[in-house]
């Protein structure tokens, strides 16, 4: 077959995605922005409800305890989202709960000293205080790496020893490249595949219709306009969730699940969460509401692994969000600033007792692309909804009663969209290079395969592959290697910086990447990432 003529290749590499209606610093009308913010709030409910619903019963907590934890998590989600959009990266990202913290938290729950407590409520409180203490200590990792600019230095340079006739000296070399970051960003989405269709399959009668409806509204009917607004595309998630939620409630009320197995009822019914009846009308979360945190070195060390995983996953998510918000790639010091504020967020998680740490909500990043609205204001409005409804318990619990299967159907689309954004960085690299093909393929495969081995081993043996007498060591390794983006980062960056790296800068995409290393490297950075209230006078960009 003849090679295509040069003029037939009409897709040049582009810094910013095309076709987005609103970018990071442009805003829809206030009415549309409020509706979009509410849509982001509804999507954020999935993780905020799922994590406490799984962990609180293991700790001995009842439905009332579960509701308080959900309220507290949503409250801190809102505060952390505002802090990140105002003073952190300033990207339109929701900062939510993280599954990366599950391994060390479950390890704390099964601590023999806590399991011996016979009174369930006392055991719940003592376990909560132990988790709080571990989060408070572990948060220092991101705070130090962020505000000291160490993470920025890692993002900018690698230093290697070079030996020649003149002696031994240190040479700076680029550490992260577009090629090395592709598997990391892609697996931020692909690595969550187990929260997609495997969950949809637990209740196909509502999961499949939700998936079909969401795709139909957001893609096939996206040209339907009402008052010049593409209503079905812009609000596909909100409309789909409302329709399928009402359908699920109809099935529940009609007795369709009356004699079905418990697992089916949990995933399908709209009345199994017991959140509405247990929620207070008004409740304002406050620091140390569960009591004074307790501190244990082993617990804290295991939690540090989850903080490192959260840092790596968020790094990939920030880069994906920047592209879906039609912004430039965040400069190294902006990324480091965001990690510092995320550390503050994990500190708040520990002080308030949310039962998990913080990371970028991947599903909400995907929703930026689905709606084609990357406005920062929309995300700040969604943070307002999180704070407001977390204090009005009954109203917040009403929305939190949406079956998780509905969210999982939406994840099938949104996680895939984020993953494809990671793959889009390949346009800046030479994918006709066998070196590059090797690095991307091996990093993607191992990034999926290694965590799957760790998860499968844990399900069968009820403990991770790392199973020594040192619990903190087990938690550290099992947490690190259960994260797809983290494994991908280790593999991709190692191979990219050791395999024929000296003569491959152009193939790796470095000529395009280099201008985003410094804040002043691109004039657009000031538009996207400058701090509000003229704070750049006190915190000048580096």
Query: What's the CA gap between 18 and 75, in Å, rounded?
Result: 35
**CB-neighbour burial class of residue 280 (10 A; exposed 0-12, middle 13-18, buried 19+):** middle
539 DSSP 8-state letter: S
- Write the CA distances from 225 to 204, 220, 222, 241, 356, integer angstroms: 31, 13, 8, 20, 41
Q: Of 522, 502, 494, nearest to 438 (Cα)?
A: 494
For residue 97, the SS3 value is: strand
Compute φ and ψ for 280, nearest 5 degrees.
-75, 160
The 8-class DSSP code of residue 92 comes to S
Inter-residue contact 352 to 72 (CB < 8 Å)? yes
21: exposed, middle or buried (Cβ count in 10 Å: 0-12, 13-18, 19+): middle
Strands 358-360 and 95-97: antiparallel
Coil vs helix vs strand at 498: coil
Report the distance separating Cα 277 and Cα 44, nearest Å. 22
What pLDDT, on the 0 to 100 scale, is given for residue 243? 96
Q: What angle do CA 361, 16, 371 make, to 5 degrees?
A: 45
Predicted pLDDT of residue 169: 39
Q: Per residue in 494-510, is it b (16+ CB within 10 Å) or e — as a string?
A: ebbbeeebeebeebbbb
Query: Considering only CA atoms, which of 217, 272, 36, 45 is closest in space to residue 209?
Result: 217
Determine the pLDDT at residue 157: 46
Per-residue pLDDT at 349: 97
Encode pLDDT of 23-63 as tens digits: 998 999 999 999 999 999 999 999 999 999 999 999 999 98
Question: What is the mean pLDDT of each successive set of 10 residues along the chain, which is 542 residues long?
Answer: 60 75 91 96 93 93 91 96 95 94 94 93 96 97 92 61 45 66 94 92 94 96 86 95 94 86 84 75 91 94 95 94 91 91 97 95 96 96 95 81 92 96 91 93 96 92 88 92 95 89 78 70 78 76 62
Give dist(CA 184, CA 189) in Å, integer: 9
Residue 220 DSSP label: I
The whole-number pLDDT of residue 517 equals 65
What is the rounded CA–CA span in Å between residue 222 and residue 422?
Answer: 24
For 153-176, the DSSP string reads: HHHH-EEEEEEETTEEEEEEE---
Rounded to 10 deg, the angle between the 204-215 and 236-253 helix axes is: 160
User: What's the confidence (pLDDT) of residue 159?
Assistant: 41
Chain centroid offset of residue 194 CA: 15
User: Exposed, middle or buried, 11 (CB in 10 Å: 0-12/13-18/19+)?
Assistant: exposed
Helix, strand, coil % over all residues of the chain, rounded to 5? 65, 5, 30
The confidence score (pLDDT) of residue 228 equals 84
């Amino acid at each position: 077959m003849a090679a295509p003529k040069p003029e037939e290749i009409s897709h040049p590499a582009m810094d910013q995605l095309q076709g987005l209606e609103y970018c990071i610093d442009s805003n829809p009308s206030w009415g549309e922005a409020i509706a979009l913010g509410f849509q982001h709030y509804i999507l954020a409910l999935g993780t905020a409800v799922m994590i406490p619903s799984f962990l609180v019963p293991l700790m001995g907590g009842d439905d009332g305890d579960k509701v308080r934890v959900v309220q507290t998590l949503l409250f801190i989600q809102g505060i952390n989202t505002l802090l990140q959009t105002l003073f952190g990266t300033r990207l339109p990202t929701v900062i939510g709960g993280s599954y990366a913290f599950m391994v060390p938290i479950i390890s704390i729950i099964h601590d023999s000293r806590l399991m011996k407590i016979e009174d369930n409520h006392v055991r719940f409180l003592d376990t909560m205080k132990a988790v709080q203490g571990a989060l408070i200590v572990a948060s220092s990792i991101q705070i130090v790496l962020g505000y000291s600019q160490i993470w920025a230095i890692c993002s900018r340079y690698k230093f290697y020893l070079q030996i020649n006739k003149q002696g031994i000296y240190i040479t700076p070399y680029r550490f992260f490249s577009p090629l090395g970051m592709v598997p990391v960003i892609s697996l931020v989405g692909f690595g969550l595949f187990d929260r997609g269709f495997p969950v949809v399959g637990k209740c196909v009668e509502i999961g499949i219709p939700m998936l079909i409806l969401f795709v139909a509204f957001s893609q096939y009917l996206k040209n339907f306009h009402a008052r010049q607004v593409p209503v079905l595309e812009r609000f596909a998630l909100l409309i789909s969730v409302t329709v399928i939620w009402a359908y699920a409630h109809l099935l529940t009320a009609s007795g369709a699940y009356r004699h079905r197995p418990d697992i089916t009822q949990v995933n399908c019914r709209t009345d199994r969460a017991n959140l509405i009846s247990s929620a207070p009308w008004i409740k304002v979360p406050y620091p140390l509401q569960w009591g004074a945190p307790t501190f244990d070195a082993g617990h804290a060390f295991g939690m540090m692994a989850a903080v490192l995983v959260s840092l790596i996953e968020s790094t990939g998510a920030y880069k994906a969000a920047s592209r879906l918000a039609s912004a430039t790639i965040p400069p190294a010091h902006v990324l480091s600033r965001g990690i510092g504020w995320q550390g503050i967020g994990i500190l708040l998680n520990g002080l308030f007792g949310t039962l998990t740490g913080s990371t970028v909500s991947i599903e909400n990043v995907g929703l930026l692309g689905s709606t084609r609205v990357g406005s920062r204001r929309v995300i700040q409005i969604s943070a307002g909804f999180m704070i407001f409804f977390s204090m009005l318990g009954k109203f917040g619990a009403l929305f939190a009663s949406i079956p998780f299967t509905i969210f999982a159907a939406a994840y099938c689309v949104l996680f895939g969209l984020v993953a494809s954004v990671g793959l889009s960085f390949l346009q800046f690299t030479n994918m006709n290079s066998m070196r590059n093909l090797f690095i991307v393929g091996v990093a993607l495969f191992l990034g999926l395969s290694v965590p799957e081995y760790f998860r499968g081993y844990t399900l069968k043996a009820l403990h991770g592959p790392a199973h020594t007498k040192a619990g903190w060591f087990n938690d550290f390794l099992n947490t690190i290697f259960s994260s797809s983006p983290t494994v991908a980062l280790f593999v991709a960056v190692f191979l990219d910086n050791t395999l024929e790296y000296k003569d491959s800068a152009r193939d790796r995409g470095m000529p395009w990447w280099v201008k985003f290393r410094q804040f002043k490297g691109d004039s657009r950075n000031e538009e996207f990432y400058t701090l509000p209230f003229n704070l750049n006078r006190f915190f000048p960009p580096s």
